């Protein structure tokens, strides 16, 4: 076992998959000589060469489009979008091409690309370097969307994504890159796509989240336990397809749910899950489902006090739980 940061886990996954499969290659802005703006690809150019670690022009449409084309002729590209905020030029290639190729060809073709996307706030990056826009892709059938919260899952899920024949949007929260560490096995492992993790078992209420917000949920759960409230915490890990069975089993047990997401409330993952629970097990609920989300304003404020006001935090989550429990 080796103590490993989230960003180191990403690098390990890329290294292992490139060593395992020669069809895997990386492409993105500054990922070669510089090793990536966050150093996720540090050392890989020297190890695998410039034909497999490609420094691209500053063109997200080229990065995504070239990757889709390469996937169609047998390669397994892992393009990097340096910041989620700048993925919009690549949307046509991802939404109109990658997600639809298998369907439009009757299963004859697939697009096995894994798009690594750096996302998220609480880093003082302002509105063009702090967005988290997972909902754009969760609304697109044909894609797989992943957002891990731990170093273990970041490595295991990235390896599974690269091996998948589906196009995967793999979000990495930049706030987690060096703020969390855990011991990872030295032997190879993967984490299954589409399966949630129960981070904490409880009987009074279910907290559902993913990514950076999962850590806020666990901190809130610690505070609530001191008040006699036993919260269960579910980490979705995969947002499309999400683990419906685990969610239903938990909420049937607790009869209450609070769903937490960093992105704005309207049209988000939290609303989808809330509707899913209500449609399927309404009779089990003892209180309305509550969402704790980012504000419905253009994200994300640069000034730290405003950024902290915009984002969910453990106190906001704990307050929401108390209201639901008291309903």
Q: What domains are defined for the chain?
A: 2-184 (3.40.50.970), 197-325 (3.40.50.920)
3-state secondary structure of 320: helix
Residue 141 CB coordination number (10 Å): 10
Would you state the pLDDT for residue 1? 82
| Exposure letters 36-68 (e unless 16+ CB within 10 A, then b) | bbbbbbeebbeebeeebbbbbeeebebbbbbbb
Residue 252 CB coordination number (10 Å): 15
Pairing of strands 181-184, 2-5: antiparallel
Would you state the pLDDT for residue 300? 85
Q: Measure the CA–CA gap between 37 and 174, rounded to whole angstroms.
A: 11
Sheet containing 231-235, strands listed edge to edge, beginning at the edge strand earlier in sequence:
197-200, 231-235, 205-209, 257-264, 290-294
Q: Measure the CA–CA gap between 222 and 272, rounded to whole angstroms.
A: 27
Kindly report the pTM of this predicted structure.
0.97
Q: Measure the CA–CA gap between 151 and 249, rounded to whole angstroms.
A: 26
Residue with tokens 């666990």: 218
Q: Measure the CA–CA gap between 208 and 64, rounded to whole angstroms.
A: 31
- Nearest 10 degrees: CA dihedral of 40, 42, 45, 51? 10
**CB-based contacts of 173, cutoff 8 Å, min separation 6:** 119, 120, 132, 147, 149, 211, 212
Residue 3 forms beta bridges with which residues? 183
Catalytic one of 129, 173, 215, 216: 129
pLDDT in tens, the chain (327 residues): 889 999 999 999 999 999 999 999 999 999 999 999 999 999 999 999 999 999 999 999 999 999 999 999 999 999 999 999 999 999 999 999 999 999 999 999 999 999 999 999 999 999 899 999 999 999 999 999 999 999 999 999 999 999 999 999 999 999 999 999 999 999 999 999 999 999 999 999 999 999 999 999 999 999 999 999 999 999 999 999 999 999 999 999 999 999 999 999 999 999 999 999 999 999 999 999 999 999 998 878 889 999 999 999 999 999 999 999 999
Would you state the pLDDT for residue 276? 98
DSSP string of 104-131, one letter each residue: HTTTS-----EEEEEE--SSS--TTS--
Nearest alpha carbon to residue 38 among 125, 153, 113 = 125
CB 64 within 8 A of CB 79: yes
CB 191 within 8 A of CB 150: no
- Is residue 129 annotated as part of the catalytic site, yes or no? yes
Listed in order, strand segments (DSSP E) in 120-167 are 144-146
DSSP 8-state code for residue 171: E
């Amino acid at each position: 076992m080796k103590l490993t940061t989230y960003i180191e886990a990403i690098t390990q996954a890329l290294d292992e998959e490139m060593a395992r499969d020669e069809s895997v290659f990386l492409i993105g802005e500054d990922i070669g000589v510089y090793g990536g703006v966050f150093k996720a690809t540090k050392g890989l150019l020297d190890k695998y060469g410039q034909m497999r670690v490609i420094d691209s022009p500053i063109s997200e449409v080229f990065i995504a489009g070239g990757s889709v084309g390469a996937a169609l002729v047998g390669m397994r590209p892992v393009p990097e979008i340096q910041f989620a905020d700048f993925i919009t030029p690549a949307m046509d290639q991802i939404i109109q091409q990658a997600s639809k190729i298998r369907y439009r060809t009757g299963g004859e073709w697939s697009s096995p690309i894994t798009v690594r996307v750096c996302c998220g706030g609480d880093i003082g990056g302002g509105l063009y370097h702090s967005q988290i826009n997972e909902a754009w892709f969760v609304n697109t059938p044909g894609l797989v969307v992943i957002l891990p919260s731990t170093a273990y899952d970041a490595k295991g899920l990235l390896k599974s994504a690269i091996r998948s024949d589906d196009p995967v949007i793999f979000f990495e929260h930049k706030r987690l890159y060096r703020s969390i560490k855990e011991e990872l096995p030295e032997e190879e492992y993967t984490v299954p796509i589409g399966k949630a993790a129960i981070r904490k078992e409880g009987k009074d209420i279910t907290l559902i989240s993913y990514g950076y917000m999962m850590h806020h949920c666990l901190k809130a759960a610690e505070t609530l336990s001191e008040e006699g409230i036993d919260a269960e915490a579910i980490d979705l890990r995969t947002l499309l397809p999400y683990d419906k069975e685990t969610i239903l089993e938990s909420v049937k047990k607790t009869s209450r749910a609070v769903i937490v997401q960093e992105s704005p409330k309207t049209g988000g993952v939290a609303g989808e899950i809330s509707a899913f629970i209500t449609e399927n097990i309404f009779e089990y609920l003892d209180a309305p489902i509550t969402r704790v989300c980012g504000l419905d304003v253009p994200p994300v404020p640069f000034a730290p006090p405003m950024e902290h006001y915009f984002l969910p935090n453990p106190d906001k989550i704990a307050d929401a739980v108390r209201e639901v429990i008291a309903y």
